[in-house]
C-alpha cells in the first residue's frame, strides 16, 4: 500500500480525534480539550491532523496540478502542515491536491518502526527520468478510505525534483519508496487508484465505494 502502509503501528492515530485543527495549532497534538502545556509534557501526545484530507469524489483530486514556482514561507508552512497531517493519518505519502491545493508537491516518509518520523521528504515538480523492472503492489489511499487496488509499478525509479528551497535534486527510489513516489505523482496528474483497474472493475469499485460512503453518511446522520 502506498498512502497507507501495513507495517506502520497504529498507536497514536487509533485514538486521534478526526477533527482537523487550524494551521498553526500547537505542534503535534494539542487536542481541543487539552491545555497546550499539558499536551507538551504528555509522554505520547495524540496527533491531530492539521489539514483536512479530501476524499473522492472531491473534484480537486481529478485536477492536473500546476508546477510550483514560488519558494516562500507559505510553501514551507504548507509542507510542514502536510507532513504533520501525513503522520496523523498514518500515511506514507500525501500529495498537495489531497489537501485541496492543486500544485505539484508531495510529502513522503516510507520508513517504518523506529525510523518513522525521522526523515520525511518533499518532492516538488517531480519528473520520472528512468524506470527499471516491475513491482506488483497492493495500494491504499487516504483519499479513498477502505479501498485497496492491485497495481503494477516500476521497481526502481530515478526522479528529478526540487527541494523546499527550489534546488534541483535527484532521487533514486526502490521498493515501497518507488511505489509511493509513483502513487503521489499520479495524484499530481489527477490519477487515482481506480484508474489502474480495467473499465469494468473500475465501475464496480466506484459503485461499491459510493455505496459505502453513502451508508456511512446516513449512519453518521442518525447518530447526531
Count residues near Zn ion (CB under 5 A): 2
- Among residues 21, 89, 139, 184, the one annotated as catalytic is 184
Closer of 166 and 190 to Zn ion (Cβ): 190
Closer of 80 and 141 to Zn ion (Cβ): 141
In the complex, what is the shortest distance from the CB of residue 39 to Zn ion, in angstroms, rounded to a whole number?
29
* Positions of E strands within 86-219: 93-95, 105-108, 121-139, 149-162, 168-174
Compute the distance between CA of residue 27 and CA of residue 19 in angstroms, rounded to an integer. 15
3-state secondary structure at position 196: helix
Beta bridge partners of 135: 153
Closer of 82 and 141 to Zn ion (Cβ): 141
- Is residue 3 part of the contact set for Zn ion (CB under 5 A)? yes
In the complex, what is the shortest distance from the CB of residue 186 to Zn ion, in angstroms, rounded to a whole number?
7
In the complex, what is the shortest distance from the CB of residue 156 to Zn ion, in angstroms, rounded to a whole number?
21
Compute the distance between CA of residue 95 and CA of residue 54 in angstroms, rounded to an integer. 11
> Measuring CA to CA, how many Å separate 156 from each of 22, 43, 172, 188?
37, 39, 7, 20
> Measuring CA to CA, how many Å separate 16 from each of 27, 109, 144, 161?
14, 20, 19, 33
In the complex, what is the shortest distance from the CB of residue 72 to Zn ion, in angstroms, rounded to a whole number?
26
At 206, give phi and psi (nearest 5°).
Answer: -65, -40
- Is residue 141 part of the contact set for Zn ion (CB under 5 A)? yes
In the complex, what is the shortest distance from the CB of residue 30 to Zn ion, in angstroms, rounded to a whole number?
27
Please indicate whether residue 172 is annotated as part of the active site: no
- Is residue 181 part of the contact set for Zn ion (CB under 5 A)? no
Compute the distance between CA of residue 113 and CA of residue 117 in angstroms, rounded to an integer. 9
Closer of 3 and 90 to Zn ion (Cβ): 3
- Is residue 139 part of the contact set for Zn ion (CB under 5 A)? no
Name the residue with the smallest CB distance to Zn ion. 141
Q: Which stretch binds Zn ion (CB under 5 A): 13-21, 136-144, 148-156, 211-219?
A: 136-144
41, three cell numbers:
509534557
CA proximity to 5, closest of 65, 86, 75, 60: 86
Q: Which stretch binds Zn ion (CB under 5 A): 66-74, 121-129, 141-149, 154-162?
A: 141-149
Positions in the binding site for Zn ion (CB under 5 A): 3, 141
Residues designated as active site: 184
Amino acid at each position: 500500500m502506498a498512502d497507507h502502509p501495513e507495517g506502520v503501528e497504529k498507536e497514536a492515530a487509533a485514538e486521534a480525534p478526526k477533527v482537523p485543527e487550524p494551521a498553526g495549532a500547537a505542534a503535534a497534538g494539542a487536542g481541543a480539550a487539552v491545555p497546550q502545556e499539558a499536551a507538551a509534557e504528555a509522554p505520547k501526545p495524540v496527533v491531530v491532523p492539521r489539514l483536512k484530507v479530501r476524499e473522492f469524489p472531491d473534484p480537486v483530486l481529478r485536477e492536473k496540478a500546476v508546477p510550483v514556482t514560488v519558494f516562500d514561507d507559505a510553501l514551507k508552512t504548507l509542507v510542514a502542515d502536510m507532513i504533520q497531517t501525513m503522520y496523523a493519518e498514518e500515511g506514507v505519502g500525501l500529495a498537495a491536491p489531497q489537501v485541496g491545493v492543486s500544485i505539484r508537491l508531495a510529502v513522503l516518509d516510507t520508513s517504518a518502526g523506529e525510523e518513522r518520523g525521522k526523515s520525511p521528504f518533499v518532492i516538488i515538480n517531480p519528473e520520472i527520468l528512468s524506470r527499471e523492472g516491475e513491482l506488483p503492489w497492493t495500494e491504499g489511499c487516504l483519499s479513498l478510505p477502505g479501498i485497496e487496488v492491485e497495481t503494477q509499478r516500476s521497481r526502481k525509479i530515478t526522479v528529478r525534483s526540487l527541494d523546499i528551497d527550489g534546488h534541483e535534486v535527484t532521487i533514486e527510489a526502490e521498493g515501497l519508496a518507488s511505489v509511493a513516489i509513483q502513487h503521489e505523482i499520479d495524484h499530481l496528474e489527477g490519477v487515482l487508484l481506480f484508474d489502474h483497474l480495467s473499465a469494468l472493475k473500475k465501475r464496480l469499485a466506484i459503485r461499491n465505494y459510493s455505496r459505502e460512503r453513502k451508508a456511512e453518511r446516513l449512519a453518521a446522520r442518525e447518530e447526531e
